[in-house]
Amino acid sequence: MPTLLEALEEKYGMEPDEKEEHVEEEVLVSIFVPKLPPRQSTPQLLILNDCNIDRAGEPEDLKKKCRIVKELDLAQNKLNNWNEVFVILSHMPRVEFVNLSLNHLTGPIQKPPVTKMDHLRNLVLNNTKLEWCSVEKLLRLLPALEELHLSLNEYTHVLIDTIDPSAASRASASGDGGGGGGGGGERDGAEDASSNNNANGEPATSQTKDTMSSGSCPASASESTVPNQSTNGVEPPPFQTDPHGGVRKLHLTGNYISEWGEICRIGRVFPQLEALVLADCPLRSLKPTDPQGNENDEESHKYFQQLKLLNLSNAKIDSWEDIDRLAEFPALSNVRLQYWPLWARTDSTTEHERRQLLIARLPNISILNGGDTIGAVEREDAERSFIRHYLDKPDEERPRRYYELIEVHGKLDPLVNIDLRPERKVKVRFTFEDKAIERTVDVNRTVSDLKSRLERIFDVPAARMRLFYVDQDFRDLQGLEEMKYPHKVLYSYNIRSGDEIIIERKVKS
């Protein structure tokens, strides 16, 4: 398998001397084109995905060729050793974006040759099966990280937190709060974390110290990447780390996380988070729960004070109360809530009605399901429609939002139901030669259907029949209109009760 250096030289051509010899042999007329030296020939955006790369290559040559690279895409290669990844990155001092998706990087992270990568802002690790202990170590090495992708890694729990698991367990045992949900043990854990930090800003807990020095993850972290599996049926303890104030965007699409209490750990680790993508995660509710599955009194939005965008598409949420919890996020303005079980059982019959109910319940949301910005007119219409929706409901079914909107718009009268659709059944006079009868006609039928029915009444074959429509109000102005087209629907002629249709037999030519 090629090294990164070999893949780079294969994709971006031969050495300059070899190219010049080739040109002199084949081309009679040469045009002078200034040529960049080898160290500058590599583009700032370097894409080497699906090249079977498994290692870095010659360090000195790599350093010369890749020193200006700012964006590196190594997705779907054969990298499985973090040491090789760090060697590559150590020779790219300007790199800001790295995509390592679909490389099997489950192995432990040992102490890298570079202590920190100060320019790396965007790291994509989708479908790498990366363990949480490795995530914790990477966060300490990437102080400038702003966007992190951990989708499709088969996580069932979020095994990273700012709370000391042992302190949280002691607090839970003493009745001060739950460990996983961040109850009474949070303050003690935070104080322990801050007091135990060493001079380099790394947590001094035995858990993280031992794993960094040994280069291996505890068994519980390894098992956490297997769906529906944990140590002895009990949720493994999270790794304690310091909050990372730089990360603004986190993608966890397609993992198996089902409890909002796990997502609260994300909020504690990334307190400045602005965008959180949880699409295709089987979340059942936005109410935090403790490790035993019991609901606790924590607020869903407590650790997401800066969150502006939240994607919950394809969640397993089936409660309007969770929509009301979304309204409590202080900065949330953009949400995706598509394909929920709730929508399958809602009593709204159209997507427009559902959108109105959501807009009315979410007063701070400006973008819903990727649509246009919600304007003042649309919001007012939605809120008025929401009030009328609950007018006939009993008090116990009316949400708190209903009474808030009554204070704004007052108690509205029901809308008058005016049906502007055309009549479906009309009485039409049919005339054939000296015979005339009245029949009720369904205007949703076609001309061909009408001829088939008249065939039995007037004994004229449908294929030999001509129909002429006579409007009772415009008989003298426009005369007869032949109904030529067999698949044309009758209502398109604006037929009303009292009109006439004249039947003639086609003359054989």
Q: What is the pLDDT of residue 121?
A: 97
The yes-or-no verdict on residue 500 having pLDDT over 90 is yes
Higher pLDDT, 478 or 441: 441
The yes-or-no verdict on residue 114 having pLDDT over 90 is no
In angstroms, rounded to a whole number, what is the distance separating the alpha carbons of residues 221 and 133? 7
CATH number at residue 471: 3.10.20.90
Q: Classify residue 233 as exposed, middle or buried by CB count within 10 Å of its CB (0-12, 13-18, 19+).
A: exposed
**Residue 395, token pair as written in the block:** 């008090």
The yes-or-no verdict on residue 205 having pLDDT over 90 is no
For residues 457 and 375, state if they share a domain.
Answer: no
Q: What is the pLDDT of residue 171?
A: 55
Contact call for residues 367 and 373 (beta carbons, < 8 A): yes
User: Could you identify the residue written with the tokens 């432990």?
Assistant: 108
For residues 392 and 472, state if they share a domain.
Answer: no
Residue 22 lies inside a defined structural domain of this protein: no
Instruction: Output DSSP code: residue 491.
Output: G
Q: What is the pLDDT of residue 227?
A: 45
Angle at 259 between CA 254 and CA 264, to 5 degrees: 95
For residues 252 and 370, state if they share a domain.
Answer: yes
Distances (CA, A) of 198 to 135, 242, 284: 20, 12, 39
Higher pLDDT, 57 or 423: 57
Output phi, psi for 427, to 5 deg: -95, 120
Range scoring the smallest mean pLDDT among 27-41, 263-277, 354-368, 454-468: 27-41
Q: What is the pLDDT of residue 431?
A: 93
In angstroms, rounded to a whole number, what is the distance separating the alpha carbons of residues 8 and 2? 10
pLDDT digits (tens, 9 = 90+) for 233-258: 566 789 999 999 999 999 999 999 99
Residue 179 lies inside a defined structural domain of this protein: no
Q: What is the pLDDT of residue 386?
A: 94
Higher pLDDT, 229 or 98: 98
| Amino acid (1-letter code) at residue 76 | Q
Range scoring the smallest mean pLDDT among 13-17, 160-164, 432-436: 13-17
DSSP assignment string, 358-403: HHHH-TT-SEETT-SPPPHHHHHHHHHHHHHHTTTS-GGGS-HHHH
Task: Tell me what the mean pLDDT of segment 255-265 comes to.
Answer: 95
For residues 393 and 301, state if they share a domain.
Answer: yes
pLDDT exceeding 70 applies to what percent of the chain? 77
What value does the mean pLDDT of the chain take? 82
Helix axes 400-409, 351-361, angle to 10 degrees: 80
Q: What is the pLDDT of residue 401?
A: 95
Q: Residue 296 — very low, low, confident or very high, per pLDDT cuts 50/70/90?
A: confident
For residues 265 and 305, state if they share a domain.
Answer: yes
Distances (CA, A) of 37 to 15, 42, 65, 491: 9, 10, 9, 76
What are 310's strand-pairing partners? 276, 335
Contact call for residues 85 and 112 (beta carbons, < 8 A): no
Task: Tell me what the mean pLDDT of segment 121-133 comes to.
Answer: 96
Edge-to-edge strands of the sheet including 122-124? 45-47, 71-73, 97-99, 122-124, 147-149, 249-251, 275-277, 309-311, 334-336, 367-368
Contact call for residues 45 and 71 (beta carbons, < 8 A): yes
For residues 277 and 389, state if they share a domain.
Answer: yes
Q: What is the pLDDT of residue 187?
A: 38
Residue 444 lies inside a defined structural domain of this protein: yes
Query: For the CA atoms of 78, 84, 88, 93, what is the dihedral angle to 10 degrees?
Result: 140
For residues 332 and 459, state if they share a domain.
Answer: no
Domain end, chosen from 355, 381, 409, is at 409
**Residue 387, token pair as written in the block:** 């009030």
Residue 293 lies inside a defined structural domain of this protein: yes
Q: Residue 430 — very low, low, confident or very high, per pLDDT cuts 50/70/90?
A: very high
For residues 298 and 393, state if they share a domain.
Answer: yes
- Helix H, strand E, coil C: the string for 322-343 is HHHHHCCCCCCCEEECCCCHHH
Residue 243 lies inside a defined structural domain of this protein: yes
For residues 363 and 442, state if they share a domain.
Answer: no
Contact call for residues 207 and 135 (beta carbons, < 8 A): no
Task: Tell me what the mean pLDDT of segment 165-173 comes to.
Answer: 59
Range scoring the smallest mean pLDDT among 64-68, 77-81, 303-307: 64-68
Q: What is the pLDDT of residue 167?
A: 62
Task: Tell me what the mean pLDDT of segment 311-319 comes to.
Answer: 96
Its sign, for the CA torsion 141, 145, 149, 150, is: positive
For residues 404 and 453, state if they share a domain.
Answer: no
Q: Residue 509 — very low, low, confident or very high, per pLDDT cuts 50/70/90?
A: low
252: left (phi over 0), alpha (psi -120 to 50) or beta: alpha
- Helix H, strand E, coil C: the string for 204-221 is CCHHHHHHHHHCCCCHHH
How many DSSP H helices and E strands does the chain contain?
18, 17
Range of the domain at 474: 425-505
Residue 159 lies inside a defined structural domain of this protein: no
Output phi, psi for 432, to 5 deg: -135, 110
SS3 of residue 169 by DSSP? helix
In angstroms, rounded to a whole number, what is the distance separating the alpha carbons of residues 4 and 490? 71
Q: Residue 48 — very low, low, confident or very high, per pLDDT cuts 50/70/90?
A: very high
Task: Tell me what the mean pLDDT of segment 46-63 comes to.
Answer: 91
Q: Residue 215 — very low, low, confident or very high, per pLDDT cuts 50/70/90?
A: low
**Domain count across the chain:** 2
Contact call for residues 183 and 163 (beta carbons, < 8 A): no
Name the most confidently modeled range: 40-49, 146-155, 395-404, 462-471: 146-155
The yes-or-no verdict on residue 396 having pLDDT over 50 is yes
For residues 254 and 385, state if they share a domain.
Answer: yes
Range scoring the smallest mean pLDDT among 83-97, 195-209, 373-387: 195-209
In angstroms, rounded to a whole number, what is the distance separating the alpha carbons of residues 168 and 176? 9
Task: Tell me what the mean pLDDT of segment 325-339 comes to.
Answer: 96
The yes-or-no verdict on residue 192 having pLDDT over 80 is no
Q: What is the pLDDT of residue 319?
A: 93
In angstroms, rounded to a whole number, what is the distance separating the alpha carbons of residues 284 and 295? 12
Query: For the CA atoms of 374, 378, 381, 384, what is the dihedral angle to 10 degrees?
Result: 10
Residue 126 lies inside a defined structural domain of this protein: no
Task: Tell me what the mean pLDDT of segment 307-312 comes to.
Answer: 98
Please enumerate in sequence order all residues whose Cβ is within 8 A of that of 308, keeping only pairs 6 or more positions apart, or say none: 274, 275, 331, 332, 333, 334
Output phi, psi for 289, to 5 deg: -130, 160
Domain end, chosen from 380, 409, 438, is at 409
Domain end, chosen from 409, 439, 466, is at 409
pLDDT exceeding 90 applies to what percent of the chain? 54
For residues 441 and 343, state if they share a domain.
Answer: no
Residue 256 lies inside a defined structural domain of this protein: yes
**Residues in the chain, how many?**
509
Angle at 377 between CA 374 and CA 382, to 5 degrees: 75
SS3 of residue 432 by DSSP? strand
Q: Residue 507 — very low, low, confident or very high, per pLDDT cuts 50/70/90?
A: confident
Q: Residue 35 — very low, low, confident or very high, per pLDDT cuts 50/70/90?
A: low
